[in-house]
Structure 1
Amino acid sequence: MDRRLLLGLSLFLCLFRLQGQEGESNFSVGFNYGFGSEFNNRNYTFTNHFYKAQLYYRLKETKKFQYEILVQPEVNFGTHQLLNFYFVKPEEPDYIEKRAKYVQLKDVHEYVLNIGFLIRKPISARFSFYLLASVGPMITDTETERMSDGFAFADVLAAGFSAKVQRFQFDIRPCVRHVSNAGLGSSNAGYNTKNIEFGVSCSL
Protein backbone atom coordinates (compact mmCIF):
# COMPACT_ATOMS: atom_id res chain seq x y z
CA MET A 1 0.00 0.00 0.00
CA ASP A 2 2.90 2.41 0.76
CA ARG A 3 4.36 1.97 -2.74
CA ARG A 4 0.98 2.61 -4.36
CA LEU A 5 0.46 5.74 -2.29
CA LEU A 6 3.94 7.01 -3.21
CA LEU A 7 3.28 6.30 -6.90
CA GLY A 8 -0.06 8.11 -6.73
CA LEU A 9 1.45 11.18 -5.07
CA SER A 10 4.28 11.27 -7.63
CA LEU A 11 1.78 11.14 -10.49
CA PHE A 12 -0.28 13.87 -8.86
CA LEU A 13 2.74 16.18 -8.55
CA CYS A 14 3.83 15.48 -12.14
CA LEU A 15 0.38 16.43 -13.39
CA PHE A 16 0.53 19.74 -11.52
CA ARG A 17 3.89 20.48 -13.13
CA LEU A 18 2.44 19.73 -16.56
CA GLN A 19 -0.47 22.03 -15.80
CA GLY A 20 1.85 24.87 -14.90
CA GLN A 21 3.83 24.39 -18.11
CA GLU A 22 1.04 23.87 -20.64
CA GLY A 23 -1.94 25.81 -19.33
CA GLU A 24 -5.35 24.17 -19.39
CA SER A 25 -5.11 20.42 -18.86
CA ASN A 26 -7.30 17.49 -19.88
CA PHE A 27 -6.64 15.88 -16.49
CA SER A 28 -8.75 15.91 -13.34
CA VAL A 29 -8.16 14.15 -10.03
CA GLY A 30 -10.68 13.33 -7.35
CA PHE A 31 -12.00 11.08 -4.63
CA ASN A 32 -15.21 9.01 -4.32
CA TYR A 33 -16.92 7.28 -1.43
CA GLY A 34 -19.64 4.68 -2.00
CA PHE A 35 -21.67 1.92 -0.39
CA GLY A 36 -24.18 -0.75 -1.33
CA SER A 37 -25.40 -4.32 -0.99
CA GLU A 38 -26.24 -7.41 -3.01
CA PHE A 39 -29.38 -7.70 -5.09
CA ASN A 40 -32.09 -9.64 -3.23
CA ASN A 41 -30.66 -13.13 -2.90
CA ARG A 42 -31.70 -16.05 -0.70
CA ASN A 43 -28.23 -17.63 -0.76
CA TYR A 44 -26.06 -14.92 0.80
CA THR A 45 -25.74 -11.39 2.11
CA PHE A 46 -23.07 -8.92 1.05
CA THR A 47 -22.80 -5.29 2.10
CA ASN A 48 -19.90 -3.02 1.24
CA HIS A 49 -18.44 0.45 1.38
CA PHE A 50 -15.44 1.69 -0.56
CA TYR A 51 -13.03 4.51 -1.29
CA LYS A 52 -11.78 5.38 -4.78
CA ALA A 53 -9.16 7.74 -6.10
CA GLN A 54 -10.21 9.17 -9.49
CA LEU A 55 -7.94 10.17 -12.35
CA TYR A 56 -9.83 11.50 -15.38
CA TYR A 57 -8.36 12.18 -18.80
CA ARG A 58 -10.52 13.87 -21.46
CA LEU A 59 -9.83 12.14 -24.76
CA LYS A 60 -12.11 14.14 -27.01
CA GLU A 61 -14.82 16.79 -26.90
CA THR A 62 -17.49 17.44 -29.54
CA LYS A 63 -20.46 19.80 -29.60
CA LYS A 64 -22.68 17.22 -27.88
CA PHE A 65 -20.42 14.80 -25.97
CA GLN A 66 -17.18 14.44 -24.05
CA TYR A 67 -15.18 11.19 -23.99
CA GLU A 68 -13.00 10.40 -21.00
CA ILE A 69 -10.72 7.67 -19.63
CA LEU A 70 -10.98 7.06 -15.89
CA VAL A 71 -8.42 5.25 -13.70
CA GLN A 72 -9.75 4.19 -10.28
CA PRO A 73 -7.59 2.65 -7.54
CA GLU A 74 -10.08 1.35 -4.95
CA VAL A 75 -10.22 -0.21 -1.48
CA ASN A 76 -13.49 -2.05 -0.81
CA PHE A 77 -14.63 -3.23 2.64
CA GLY A 78 -17.31 -5.94 2.47
CA THR A 79 -19.29 -8.06 4.93
CA HIS A 80 -20.46 -11.45 3.68
CA GLN A 81 -22.49 -14.34 5.06
CA LEU A 82 -23.80 -17.57 3.54
CA LEU A 83 -27.54 -17.96 4.22
CA ASN A 84 -28.35 -21.16 2.30
CA PHE A 85 -25.77 -23.75 3.34
CA TYR A 86 -27.12 -26.14 0.68
CA PHE A 87 -25.25 -23.89 -1.76
CA VAL A 88 -22.20 -25.97 -0.73
CA LYS A 89 -22.89 -29.29 -2.46
CA PRO A 90 -22.24 -32.71 -0.84
CA GLU A 91 -19.94 -33.62 -3.72
CA GLU A 92 -17.46 -30.98 -2.58
CA PRO A 93 -14.61 -32.31 -0.41
CA ASP A 94 -15.17 -31.67 3.31
CA TYR A 95 -18.55 -30.09 2.55
CA ILE A 96 -19.81 -30.29 6.15
CA GLU A 97 -16.79 -28.38 7.47
CA LYS A 98 -17.11 -25.87 4.65
CA ARG A 99 -20.79 -25.27 5.42
CA ALA A 100 -19.96 -24.58 9.06
CA LYS A 101 -17.14 -22.24 8.03
CA TYR A 102 -18.99 -20.31 5.34
CA VAL A 103 -22.14 -19.53 7.34
CA GLN A 104 -20.03 -17.39 9.67
CA LEU A 105 -20.16 -13.63 9.10
CA LYS A 106 -16.94 -12.56 7.34
CA ASP A 107 -15.11 -9.34 6.58
CA VAL A 108 -13.86 -9.17 2.98
CA HIS A 109 -11.22 -6.66 1.84
CA GLU A 110 -10.74 -5.99 -1.88
CA TYR A 111 -7.99 -3.99 -3.58
CA VAL A 112 -8.92 -2.96 -7.11
CA LEU A 113 -7.52 -1.03 -10.06
CA ASN A 114 -10.37 -0.29 -12.47
CA ILE A 115 -9.97 1.32 -15.90
CA GLY A 116 -13.11 2.94 -17.28
CA PHE A 117 -14.48 4.65 -20.37
CA LEU A 118 -16.91 7.52 -19.77
CA ILE A 119 -19.28 9.29 -22.17
CA ARG A 120 -20.51 12.63 -20.85
CA LYS A 121 -23.48 14.69 -22.10
CA PRO A 122 -23.41 18.35 -20.95
CA ILE A 123 -26.89 19.76 -20.34
CA SER A 124 -25.71 23.26 -19.40
CA ALA A 125 -22.48 25.09 -18.62
CA ARG A 126 -22.59 23.61 -15.11
CA PHE A 127 -24.46 20.26 -15.24
CA SER A 128 -23.91 17.00 -17.13
CA PHE A 129 -24.97 13.36 -17.27
CA TYR A 130 -22.67 10.47 -18.09
CA LEU A 131 -22.42 6.71 -18.61
CA LEU A 132 -19.42 4.76 -17.35
CA ALA A 133 -18.18 1.19 -17.90
CA SER A 134 -15.04 -0.05 -16.13
CA VAL A 135 -13.17 -3.28 -15.52
CA GLY A 136 -9.98 -4.14 -13.71
CA PRO A 137 -7.92 -6.61 -11.70
CA MET A 138 -8.56 -7.13 -8.02
CA ILE A 139 -7.09 -8.92 -5.01
CA THR A 140 -9.47 -10.23 -2.35
CA ASP A 141 -8.20 -11.46 1.01
CA THR A 142 -11.04 -13.79 2.08
CA GLU A 143 -12.28 -17.10 0.69
CA THR A 144 -16.04 -17.65 0.67
CA GLU A 145 -18.39 -20.23 -0.81
CA ARG A 146 -18.87 -17.91 -3.79
CA MET A 147 -15.29 -16.98 -4.60
CA SER A 148 -11.73 -18.01 -3.84
CA ASP A 149 -9.37 -15.53 -2.29
CA GLY A 150 -6.59 -13.99 -4.37
CA PHE A 151 -6.84 -12.67 -7.92
CA ALA A 152 -10.19 -11.66 -9.45
CA PHE A 153 -11.87 -8.99 -11.58
CA ALA A 154 -14.36 -6.20 -10.83
CA ASP A 155 -16.78 -4.97 -13.53
CA VAL A 156 -18.86 -1.82 -13.04
CA LEU A 157 -21.64 -0.15 -15.04
CA ALA A 158 -22.72 3.29 -13.84
CA ALA A 159 -24.79 6.33 -14.73
CA GLY A 160 -23.91 9.63 -13.10
CA PHE A 161 -24.81 13.27 -12.67
CA SER A 162 -22.21 16.03 -12.27
CA ALA A 163 -22.34 19.65 -11.12
CA LYS A 164 -19.36 21.88 -11.86
CA VAL A 165 -18.35 24.81 -9.64
CA GLN A 166 -15.30 26.64 -10.97
CA ARG A 167 -12.50 23.99 -11.09
CA PHE A 168 -14.43 21.50 -8.95
CA GLN A 169 -16.91 18.87 -10.08
CA PHE A 170 -19.33 17.10 -7.72
CA ASP A 171 -20.70 13.68 -8.68
CA ILE A 172 -23.46 11.29 -7.71
CA ARG A 173 -23.10 7.89 -9.37
CA PRO A 174 -25.50 4.91 -8.99
CA CYS A 175 -23.85 1.73 -10.28
CA VAL A 176 -24.00 -2.06 -10.46
CA ARG A 177 -20.91 -4.17 -9.78
CA HIS A 178 -19.98 -7.77 -10.57
CA VAL A 179 -16.97 -9.46 -9.01
CA SER A 180 -15.62 -12.87 -10.09
CA ASN A 181 -12.33 -14.56 -10.93
CA ALA A 182 -13.11 -15.76 -14.50
CA GLY A 183 -12.67 -19.37 -13.46
CA LEU A 184 -9.11 -18.86 -12.22
CA GLY A 185 -10.06 -20.07 -8.71
CA SER A 186 -11.94 -23.07 -7.39
CA SER A 187 -15.06 -20.98 -6.62
CA ASN A 188 -16.36 -18.42 -9.10
CA ALA A 189 -20.03 -17.61 -8.42
CA GLY A 190 -18.96 -14.09 -7.48
CA TYR A 191 -21.00 -11.19 -6.08
CA ASN A 192 -23.46 -8.82 -7.68
CA THR A 193 -24.11 -5.55 -5.86
CA LYS A 194 -25.97 -2.30 -6.36
CA ASN A 195 -24.04 0.74 -5.10
CA ILE A 196 -24.12 4.49 -5.02
CA GLU A 197 -21.07 6.77 -5.00
CA PHE A 198 -20.50 10.41 -4.11
CA GLY A 199 -17.39 12.22 -5.24
CA VAL A 200 -15.53 15.41 -5.94
CA SER A 201 -12.79 16.09 -8.47
CA CYS A 202 -10.63 19.03 -9.41
CA SER A 203 -9.48 20.07 -12.87
CA LEU A 204 -5.70 20.44 -13.01
Structure 2
Amino acid sequence: MKLKFSAIFFLLCFFTVSSQENQSSKKWLRIGLIYGYSSQNKIIQQDSDYSYESNILKISNHFNLAKKGNHVWELLVEPSYYRSKHEALNYWHEYFTGNENGNELRTQFMRLKSINEYVLNLGVTYRYYVNPKLSIYALGNVGPMYIDTETERLKKGFAFSDIFALGSNYKINKISFDLKCMIRHVSNANLQMPNFGFNAVGFEFGTYYEFN
Protein backbone atom coordinates (compact mmCIF):
# COMPACT_ATOMS: atom_id res chain seq x y z
CA MET A 1 0.00 0.00 0.00
CA LYS A 2 2.79 2.42 0.87
CA LEU A 3 4.60 1.79 -2.40
CA LYS A 4 1.35 2.29 -4.31
CA PHE A 5 0.75 5.59 -2.49
CA SER A 6 4.28 6.75 -3.28
CA ALA A 7 3.93 5.88 -6.96
CA ILE A 8 0.55 7.65 -7.22
CA PHE A 9 1.96 10.73 -5.48
CA PHE A 10 4.84 11.10 -7.92
CA LEU A 11 2.65 10.37 -10.96
CA LEU A 12 0.22 13.09 -9.91
CA CYS A 13 3.10 15.51 -9.42
CA PHE A 14 4.56 14.57 -12.82
CA PHE A 15 1.32 15.04 -14.75
CA THR A 16 0.51 18.27 -12.92
CA VAL A 17 3.91 19.72 -13.69
CA SER A 18 3.81 18.48 -17.30
CA SER A 19 0.50 20.26 -17.85
CA GLN A 20 1.87 23.66 -16.81
CA GLU A 21 2.35 26.23 -19.54
CA ASN A 22 5.50 28.25 -20.10
CA GLN A 23 7.86 25.60 -18.79
CA SER A 24 11.43 26.83 -18.44
CA SER A 25 14.73 24.99 -18.23
CA LYS A 26 15.29 22.55 -15.38
CA LYS A 27 17.91 24.79 -13.78
CA TRP A 28 19.35 24.69 -10.27
CA LEU A 29 17.55 27.37 -8.26
CA ARG A 30 19.11 27.27 -4.80
CA ILE A 31 21.25 25.28 -2.36
CA GLY A 32 20.96 25.53 1.41
CA LEU A 33 21.75 24.10 4.80
CA ILE A 34 18.73 23.10 6.90
CA TYR A 35 18.43 22.25 10.60
CA GLY A 36 15.31 20.74 12.09
CA TYR A 37 13.74 19.05 15.08
CA SER A 38 10.83 16.60 15.15
CA SER A 39 9.15 14.58 17.86
CA GLN A 40 6.48 11.92 18.23
CA ASN A 41 5.02 13.37 21.42
CA LYS A 42 6.65 16.62 22.57
CA ILE A 43 5.02 18.94 20.03
CA ILE A 44 1.73 17.07 19.48
CA GLN A 45 0.78 14.06 21.62
CA GLN A 46 0.30 11.21 19.15
CA ASP A 47 0.99 7.75 20.61
CA SER A 48 1.77 6.69 24.18
CA ASP A 49 3.38 3.42 23.00
CA TYR A 50 6.78 5.00 22.36
CA SER A 51 8.90 8.14 22.35
CA TYR A 52 10.77 9.28 19.25
CA GLU A 53 12.57 12.54 18.50
CA SER A 54 15.13 13.65 15.93
CA ASN A 55 17.65 16.38 15.28
CA ILE A 56 17.90 16.90 11.53
CA LEU A 57 20.58 18.19 9.15
CA LYS A 58 19.96 18.54 5.41
CA ILE A 59 21.72 19.84 2.32
CA SER A 60 18.73 21.15 0.38
CA ASN A 61 18.72 21.55 -3.42
CA HIS A 62 15.85 22.95 -5.49
CA PHE A 63 15.59 22.61 -9.28
CA ASN A 64 13.05 24.36 -11.50
CA LEU A 65 10.35 22.17 -13.07
CA ALA A 66 7.81 24.73 -14.28
CA LYS A 67 6.79 28.33 -13.76
CA LYS A 68 3.70 30.34 -14.64
CA GLY A 69 3.45 33.81 -13.21
CA ASN A 70 3.83 33.62 -9.44
CA HIS A 71 3.35 29.82 -9.41
CA VAL A 72 6.48 27.62 -9.43
CA TRP A 73 6.96 23.84 -9.34
CA GLU A 74 10.35 22.61 -8.10
CA LEU A 75 12.20 19.32 -7.83
CA LEU A 76 13.58 18.82 -4.31
CA VAL A 77 16.73 16.76 -3.61
CA GLU A 78 17.89 16.64 0.04
CA PRO A 79 20.61 14.34 1.38
CA SER A 80 19.71 14.22 5.08
CA TYR A 81 20.95 12.95 8.42
CA TYR A 82 18.67 12.30 11.41
CA ARG A 83 20.13 11.76 14.87
CA SER A 84 17.20 10.19 16.70
CA LYS A 85 16.28 8.89 20.13
CA HIS A 86 13.70 6.19 20.73
CA GLU A 87 12.25 4.31 23.68
CA ALA A 88 9.46 1.72 23.84
CA LEU A 89 6.96 2.68 26.56
CA ASN A 90 4.16 0.11 26.27
CA TYR A 91 4.95 -3.06 28.25
CA TRP A 92 2.05 -4.83 26.52
CA HIS A 93 2.89 -3.84 22.96
CA GLU A 94 1.96 -6.60 20.50
CA TYR A 95 5.57 -7.04 19.39
CA PHE A 96 6.39 -8.15 22.95
CA THR A 97 3.24 -10.15 23.72
CA GLY A 98 3.38 -11.93 20.36
CA ASN A 99 6.91 -13.29 20.89
CA GLU A 100 8.03 -16.17 23.09
CA ASN A 101 11.04 -14.13 24.16
CA GLY A 102 8.92 -11.07 25.00
CA ASN A 103 10.70 -10.36 28.30
CA GLU A 104 14.08 -10.36 26.56
CA LEU A 105 12.71 -7.98 23.92
CA ARG A 106 11.33 -5.66 26.61
CA THR A 107 14.76 -5.55 28.25
CA GLN A 108 16.32 -4.71 24.88
CA PHE A 109 13.87 -2.09 23.63
CA MET A 110 12.32 -0.49 26.74
CA ARG A 111 15.30 1.77 27.25
CA LEU A 112 16.43 4.93 25.50
CA LYS A 113 18.33 4.24 22.26
CA SER A 114 20.24 6.52 19.89
CA ILE A 115 19.60 5.95 16.19
CA ASN A 116 21.34 7.18 13.03
CA GLU A 117 19.18 7.64 9.95
CA TYR A 118 20.64 8.38 6.50
CA VAL A 119 18.03 9.63 4.02
CA LEU A 120 17.81 10.89 0.45
CA ASN A 121 14.65 13.03 0.35
CA LEU A 122 13.22 13.29 -3.18
CA GLY A 123 10.10 15.31 -3.78
CA VAL A 124 8.18 18.15 -5.38
CA THR A 125 7.58 21.67 -4.06
CA TYR A 126 4.77 23.98 -5.12
CA ARG A 127 5.73 27.60 -4.42
CA TYR A 128 3.69 30.80 -4.65
CA TYR A 129 5.49 34.15 -4.73
CA VAL A 130 3.58 36.73 -2.69
CA ASN A 131 6.12 39.28 -3.94
CA PRO A 132 9.66 39.02 -5.41
CA LYS A 133 11.13 38.46 -1.93
CA LEU A 134 8.49 36.43 -0.06
CA SER A 135 7.16 33.01 -1.07
CA ILE A 136 5.02 30.36 0.61
CA TYR A 137 5.05 26.71 -0.36
CA ALA A 138 3.90 23.14 0.20
CA LEU A 139 6.12 20.12 -0.37
CA GLY A 140 5.88 16.35 -0.34
CA ASN A 141 8.64 13.81 -0.64
CA VAL A 142 9.30 10.08 -0.41
CA GLY A 143 12.90 9.12 0.20
CA PRO A 144 14.91 5.91 0.61
CA MET A 145 16.79 5.65 3.88
CA TYR A 146 18.99 3.43 6.03
CA ILE A 147 18.38 3.12 9.78
CA ASP A 148 21.23 1.61 11.80
CA THR A 149 19.38 0.45 14.94
CA GLU A 150 16.55 -2.05 15.36
CA THR A 151 13.57 -1.20 17.55
CA GLU A 152 10.27 -2.87 18.38
CA ARG A 153 8.69 -0.65 15.70
CA LEU A 154 11.11 -0.94 12.80
CA LYS A 155 13.73 -3.39 11.59
CA LYS A 156 17.29 -2.18 11.12
CA GLY A 157 18.14 -1.54 7.47
CA PHE A 158 16.32 -0.15 4.43
CA ALA A 159 13.17 1.96 4.89
CA PHE A 160 11.32 4.99 3.52
CA SER A 161 10.97 8.50 4.90
CA ASP A 162 7.79 10.38 3.87
CA ILE A 163 7.38 14.10 4.56
CA PHE A 164 4.68 16.70 4.02
CA ALA A 165 5.48 20.31 4.93
CA LEU A 166 4.21 23.89 4.70
CA GLY A 167 6.66 26.75 4.78
CA SER A 168 7.77 30.24 3.83
CA ASN A 169 10.94 31.73 2.38
CA TYR A 170 12.24 35.31 2.44
CA LYS A 171 14.94 36.41 0.01
CA ILE A 172 17.50 39.20 0.53
CA ASN A 173 19.68 39.57 -2.57
CA LYS A 174 21.37 36.17 -3.08
CA ILE A 175 20.53 34.80 0.39
CA SER A 176 17.15 33.52 1.54
CA PHE A 177 15.83 32.38 4.91
CA ASP A 178 13.45 29.45 5.23
CA LEU A 179 11.04 28.16 7.89
CA LYS A 180 8.64 25.22 7.63
CA CYS A 181 6.42 22.92 9.72
CA MET A 182 6.51 19.26 8.76
CA ILE A 183 4.90 15.85 9.35
CA ARG A 184 7.08 12.77 8.89
CA HIS A 185 6.38 9.04 8.65
CA VAL A 186 9.03 6.30 8.56
CA SER A 187 8.37 2.66 7.65
CA ASN A 188 9.68 -0.02 5.28
CA ALA A 189 6.61 -1.05 3.19
CA ASN A 190 6.58 -4.46 4.94
CA LEU A 191 9.89 -5.43 3.34
CA GLN A 192 11.03 -6.50 6.81
CA MET A 193 9.29 -7.04 10.12
CA PRO A 194 8.54 -5.38 12.44
CA ASN A 195 7.11 -2.46 10.49
CA PHE A 196 4.96 -0.45 12.90
CA GLY A 197 6.89 2.65 11.86
CA PHE A 198 7.54 6.05 13.41
CA ASN A 199 5.57 9.29 13.17
CA ALA A 200 6.79 12.77 14.07
CA VAL A 201 5.82 16.43 13.84
CA GLY A 202 8.41 19.17 13.77
CA PHE A 203 9.95 22.25 12.20
CA GLU A 204 12.93 23.06 10.00
CA PHE A 205 14.74 26.31 9.39
CA GLY A 206 17.76 27.24 7.33
CA THR A 207 19.36 29.48 4.77
CA TYR A 208 19.88 29.19 1.01
CA TYR A 209 22.17 30.64 -1.61
CA GLU A 210 19.98 31.71 -4.54
CA PHE A 211 21.38 31.21 -8.04
CA ASN A 212 18.91 33.54 -9.77
* Same topology, TM > 0.5: yes
Q: Provide Cα deviations, 1:109-129, integer angstroms capped at 9, x if missing partner.
A: 100001010000111111010
Task: Say which of 89, 92, 101 aligns to 2:99.
Answer: 92
Residue 105 (structure 1) aligns with: 112
User: Secondary structure of 2:192's match?
Assistant: coil
Stretches of structure 1 that go unaligned for 5 or more consecutive residues are 1-24
Instruction: Note the C-alpha offset of 1:176.
Output: 0.2
Number of equivalent positions: 180
Give the Cα separation in 2 of the matches to 1:156 and 1:164.
24
Instruction: Note the C-alpha offset of 1:26.
Output: 3.8
User: Secondary structure of 1:85's match?
Assistant: coil
Give the Cα separation in 1 of the matches to 2:29 and 2:48.
44
Instruction: Note the C-alpha offset of 1:80.
Output: 0.5
User: Secondary structure of 1:86's match?
Assistant: coil
Calculate the aligned-residue CA RMSD, in Å: 1.1
Instruction: Note the C-alpha offset of 1:195.
Output: 1.1
Whether 1:66 and 2:68 are equivalent positions in the alignment is no
* TM-score (normalizing by structure 1): 0.85
Q: Percent same amino acid at aligned positions?
A: 34
Instruction: Note the C-alpha offset of 1:199.
Output: 1.1
In the TM superposition, 1:26-37 aligns within 5 A as 26-37=28-39
Instruction: Note the C-alpha offset of 1:96.
Output: 1.2
In the TM superposition, 1:143-154 aligns within 5 A as 143-154=150-161
Structure 2 counterpart of 1:161, one-letter code:
S
Residue 124 (structure 2) aligns with: 117
Instruction: Note the C-alpha offset of 1:186.
Output: 1.3
Q: Is the 8 A contact 2:75 2:124 kept in 1?
A: yes
* TM-score (normalizing by structure 2): 0.82
Q: Provide Cα deviations, 1:18-64, integer angstroms capped at 9, x if missing partner.
A: xxxxxxx5431111000020042210011111100011101111113
Residue 179 (structure 1) aligns with: 186
Instruction: Note the C-alpha offset of 1:85.
Output: 1.7
Give the Cα separation in 1 of the matches to 2:32 and 2:100.
46
Give the Cα separation in 1 of the matches to 2:113 and 2:60.
28
Q: Which runs of 4+ in 1 moved over 3 A?
A: none
Structure 1 counterpart of 2:191, one-letter code:
L
Q: Provide Cα deviations, 1:74-101, integer angstroms capped at 9, x if missing partner.
A: 0000110011121134331411100111
Q: Is the 8 A contact 2:63 2:74 kept in 1?
A: yes
Give the Cα separation in 1 of the matches to 2:98 and 2:86.
23
Q: Is the 8 A contact 2:73 2:126 kept in 1?
A: yes
Instruction: Note the C-alpha offset of 1:203.
Output: 1.9
Structure 1 counterpart of 2:207, one-letter code:
V
User: Secondary structure of 1:84's match?
Assistant: coil
User: Secondary structure of 2:53's match?
Assistant: strand
